[in-house]
Amino acid sequence: MSLFDNLLESIPEGKVLDVRIGLHWTAVAVEVNGVRQCGLASTLPAGHDHNKEPDVPQAGQLLTYSGKELARFSLKQRTIHASLGVAALNALLPRHPHSWREDNAGEVIARYGKGKRVALIGRFHFVPELRSRVKELLILEQNPGPGDLPSESAPQVLPQMEVVAITGMTLLNHTLEGLLRLCSADAFIIILGPSTPLSPVLFEYGVDIISGSVVMNIDPVLQVVSQGGNFRQVHRAGVKLVNIQP
């Protein structure tokens, strides 16, 4: 089965309680076995052509879906559907607080990348500091800025890297599994970002550390998401950054 199929097989059913599609983040709140949980995913940009089919044809009806049905939106190619699906998937994942370690993803990469060649897929705010703490840092981006490499360089770059850190947004555009296959068998692999599922399924695909997020204060987070908050604002509203390892 594909990575997504395995992730979807691993989650329990739940009732969808709330859906918010914000400017930067999408949030889905569910109830699983009587417990309320919430998941996040980046809101992928949609077009603004009002003459085309709606970006969310099911708008107004999303609460009629079961949790697993909404999570299966992650398989779709529509950008907003992918955001909804991954947020629902993250909401439904079982919580294992005993396995969470609070740590900043930038620190994790710096620690394991010391003296090594590091590839970072996706640009993060900690890049300037990280560059000074590793032997070599190459950044691959779909929309490359100054000093970045285009994402099309991945087949040439990733097999040579000792540490590879991949944004969880690659789940949304369905490129994660292909990127993992490009990495050397000896590479240390980190998946990072609030969209990243805190699921041990990823370890079966060669991932060494999962660096994601857990929504702790659901109502404030939903409110900030729906009012266009960026991640710093969402984080302050009640999100914990955690890592898990095998």
- Predicted confidence (pLDDT) at residue 154 exceeds the cutoff of 90: yes
Other C-beta atoms within 10 Å of 131: how many? 15
C-beta separation of 229 from 22 below 8 A: yes
User: Could you report the per-residue pLDDT of 188-221, keeping only the tens digit for each?
Assistant: 999 999 999 999 999 999 999 999 999 999 999 9
Relative orientation angle of helices 218-226 and 231-238, to the nearest 10 degrees: 160
**Which pLDDT does position 50 carry in this prediction?**
66
Domains of the chain: 3-95+220-231 (3.30.390.100), 99-212 (3.40.50.11590)
Closest by CA to 137, choosing from 151, 149, 121, 120, is: 120
- Ordered DSSP codes for 141-177: ESS--TTPEEGGGHHHHGGG-SEEEEETHHHHTT-HH
- Predicted confidence (pLDDT) at residue 49 exceeds the cutoff of 80: no
Residue 152, both tokens: 């099309």
CA geometry: angle 236, 16, 29, nearest 5 deg = 5
Average pLDDT score over the chain:
94
Which residues lie closer than 8 Å to 201 by C-beta, 6 or more apart? 3, 6, 7, 10
Q: 0.85 exceeded by the pTM?
A: yes
C-beta separation of 38 from 19 below 8 A: no
**Which pLDDT does position 79 carry in this prediction?**
86
Q: Which of the residue ranges 38-52, 105-119, 125-139, 195-209 would you say has the lowest mean pLDDT?
A: 38-52
Report how far residue 14's alpha carbon sits from residue 17's, in angstroms, rounded to the nearest whole number: 9
**Which pLDDT does position 54 carry in this prediction?**
83
Buried b (16+ CB within 10 A) or exposed e, 133-169: bbeebbbbbeeeeeebbebeebeebbeebbbbbbbbb
Closest by CA to 133, choosing from 145, 118, 150, 151, is: 118
